[in-house]
Amino acid sequence: MNAQAAPAQIRVVRRSSACWRVTFDNPPLNVMGPQMVREFAGLIDEIEAAPGLRVVVFDSAVEGVFLNHSDFRAPLEDLLALPPGPTGLPPWPDFLVRLTRAPVCSIALIRGRATGNGSEIVLSCDMAFASRETAILSQWEVGVGMVAGGGPMARLPQLIGRNRALEVLLTSEDIRADQAEAWGYINRALPDAELDDHVDAIANRIARFDKWAIAQTKRLVNTSLSPDVELGAGWEACIASLGRPAAQEGIAALTEKGFQAPGDVETRLAVHLGRLAAR
């Protein structure tokens, strides 16, 4: 007997032909393993092929987490075995590049932690709005001896400047919504009670506009982006960093404290990174 297929970790609600809601749903922590990467690859194919689609909003069904870091319990070879996408890049940077260049407006609606991969998808969206009370953005990788794999080294400096980008990346600190707004990491931090209505109003407004005009405007704005190959270089550095003893020791030390399980390490990741012994 064949085992039942695993539940989908990404849900798509087509509110109309012009506006979709994409929800991350991999409890308890919304970590991203090979299955979710495969689902992202299928999702971007659908986004690019939908003729009437104008707006995609990304949110989460998991309390306290928008989208989290990678699943370090999944075999790395399962991720590396996935075929490259149409850009020639591995599946995760392929998705991020294609989302940024897709002829639709992408909006991140952030509640809870956007850690690692979550921050990277925020940086690849066209707009981002966050809960003032709960949203936290983090590029945590240097804290365990890793390099981030989804292109924040290419994307962050253009949004917040070189020095602030280095502060985010090298300190592995949590960036709360008000600070992220002040730096330009996100468009706006809003009271949680107002967040859904604000994003819905923007999404519904843009969804009424002409798709050709949306696509051409994005194409011209995107001429200011770093070359796509820079995301590929970041991915290669990330995979190389995972083979280093420093990263293996850092991840093992966090795991011993309770990493990748519900609890204080995931909730206050930056605090625990700062307590790791120098390696």
DSSP letters spanning 100-152: HHSSSEEEEEE-SEEETHHHHHHHHSSEEEEETTT-EEE--GGGGT---SSSH
pLDDT score recorded for residue 1: 43
pLDDT value of residue 158: 94
| 185-195 confidence digits (pLDDT tens) | 999 999 999 99
Residue 5's pLDDT is 77
Nearest to 201 by CA among 213, 186, 188: 188
pLDDT digit string (tens) for 110-130? 999 999 999 999 999 999 999
For the domain made up of 10-193+209-274, the CATH class stated in words is alpha beta
Mean pLDDT, rounded, of the chain:
96
- Tell me the pLDDT tens digit for each residue of 78-109: 999 999 999 999 999 999 999 999 999 999 99
The pLDDT tens digits for 160-217 are: 999 999 999 999 999 999 999 999 999 999 999 999 999 999 999 999 999 999 999 9
